[in-house]
Structure 1
Amino acid sequence: MKTDALTGLKVVECATVIAAPLCGRLLADFGAEVLHIETPIKGDHLRNFGFEVDGINPWWKTYARNKKLITLNISKEKGRNILFKLLEDADVLLEFFGRRLGDWGIDIQSFKKNIQD
């Protein structure tokens, strides 16, 4: 089910597994434009979690619904710069990469430095 209640809301989702991707899916179901960012080599863990039906993991099919998907290596400076550029137009950042973001040099200070109001 998709409605237009959140049309115009732009969300960047840097998350994997269940909780944040479910939140992103619900926002997308209500009309938000959700851009899901995956790591380039393995993609989202849900793609390979458990079993497949017709070559697709049903968890992935459920949680990726109504989202736009891109791969981006945010562990590299070029990828981080692209992320910051995407966030300039975003209303919401959904993040669940845990400590890895800090390891990659992404924290609240880098957001303040790189994202213009």
Structure 2
Amino acid sequence: MTNNPAETTGPLKGLRVLELGQLIAGPFTGSFLGYYGAEIIKVEQPGVGDPLRKWRMMDGDTSVWWAGMARNKKCITANLRTDEGAGLVRRLAAECDVLIENFRPGAMEKWGLGPDVLRAENPGLIYCRVSGYGQDGPNSSKLGFASVCEGYGGFRYLNGFP
């Protein structure tokens, strides 16, 4: 488990969030909800964890990026590509208010974890999908890393970066 205060406070206290994904887009969303008191359960790939754990190592094996993004989260591992891992996620999602994922469009459905499946058990589940180019359309299958999406959307031009 990562740093998680014994007693959370804030306007989102009592909200339970299941975070599936890695790097920045999805985990950043979970971090914000955690700052405001939500309980965040982050699911990571077994044996590897979130690749962000290894970005910009500062003090031995501590990543500043990971320290910021993992704050206020409980971390567990599950292989979403196996029946056992997907089953664990389905059970957790049944007990959560929000699910955040930032995989390529179609990945969650391929693993049997799409919104239709999870909402069958938990109709009130808020299913948040974070992707660079949306869930459908001509560019939806492209990887959506920040700098590429910023350039594609014109943000780099607006803030002065080439």
TM-score, normalization: structure 1? Answer: 0.87
Higher relative contact order (CA 8 A, sep 6+): 1
Residue of 18, 24, 28 corresponding to 2:30: 24
Residue of 53, 61, 64 corresponding to 2:67: 61
Deviation of 1:48 after TM superposition, in Å, equals 1.3
Residue of 7, 10, 14 corresponding to 2:20: 14
Q: Structure 2: where are the runs of 5+ without partners?
A: 1-7, 124-162
Q: Structure 1: where are the runs of 5+ without partners?
A: none
Higher Cα Rg, which structure:
2
Q: Which residue number corresponds to residue 109 of structure 1?
A: 116
Residue of 57, 66, 83 corresponding to 2:89: 83
Distance 1:102 1:49, change over 3 A: farther
Matched, 1:94 2:100: yes
Structure 1's consecutive aligned runs of 4 or more residues displaced over 3 angstroms after TM superposition are none
Q: Deviations over 1:20-77 (max 9, x none)?
A: 1111011111100000000002110101123332320110000000111101111101
Percent same amino acid at aligned positions? Answer: 34
CA RMSD of aligned residues (A): 1.7
- How many aligned residue pairs are there? 115
Residue of 29, 34, 45 corresponding to 2:51: 45
- Aligned-partner Cα distance in 1 for 2:19–2:80: 13
